[in-house]
Homo-oligomer: A and B are copies of this chain.
Amino acid sequence: MLNSVSSLDRTDITILRVLQADGRISNVELSDRVHLSPPATLARVRRLEQEGYISGYAAMLNREKLGHDNLALIEIALELHQHERIAEVLDRLVAMPEVLECYHVTGEYDYMIKVSTVNNRALDRFIATRLIPLPGIARIHTSIVLKVLKQTTQLDLPEP
């Protein structure tokens, strides 16, 4: 059951909206906002976690304050020969901590990754010593992020 949004009622949606915006809110305050008792609210949150609607909670850190001055979007084209090794290459790629996101995409290139490093030199080192040496990399195209205008994980949920 991939898409089971229909099994969620308005209260569930409200809970998800609140937790998307403040994942560390206390259960009593959450229960206030959704007009339920704390036990009923907690049971719903546990169910949403259990059923996989909530995959986890994360503290959002300030990249620049932590010394990550460089963000890059790198498109990657793979050679399709020996395609049985592609899975291995992708495993190694997503295991790299600098790689925050990796997407298989349509278009001229095959994959798009988002890479966060401390500076341009670290990005160069990442590309030259870790990315390029991967077997089967045909070519890459790097876009440097000059400015982050928006960055959120909050999905656009239907109105409650």
Question: Contact at A156–B57, with CB atoms within 8 Å?
Answer: no
Partner of A60, one of B21, B58, B105: B58
Using CB atoms, name the residue of chain B closest to A111. Answer: B149
Q: Is A40 an interface residue (CB 8 A)?
A: no
Q: Is A52 an interface residue (CB 8 A)?
A: yes
What distance in Å separates the Cβ of A157 from its nearest Cβ neighbour in chain B?
7
Contact with B along A1-34 (1 / 0, CB 8 A): 0111100000000001001111110000000000
Q: Is A123 an interface residue (CB 8 A)?
A: no
Question: Contact at B16–A66, with CB atoms within 8 Å?
Answer: yes
Question: Of A62, A68, A69, A112, which is in contact with the most chain B CB atoms at under 10 Å from its CB?
Answer: A62
Partner of A104, one of B23, B94, B146, B154: B146
Q: Which residues of B contact A82 (CB under 8 A)?
A: none
Using CB atoms, name the residue of chain B closest to A151. Answer: B101
Question: Contact at A105–B155, with CB atoms within 8 Å?
Answer: no
Within 8 A of B (CB), among A98-157: 98-107, 111-112, 116, 141, 143-157
> Known contacts A19-B59, A59-B54, A143-B112: does B3 contact A65 (CB below 8 Å)?
yes
The docked-state distance in angstroms from the alpha carbon of A21 to that of B107 is 33
Q: Is A85 an interface residue (CB 8 A)?
A: no
The docked-state distance in angstroms from the alpha carbon of A100 to that of B22 is 17
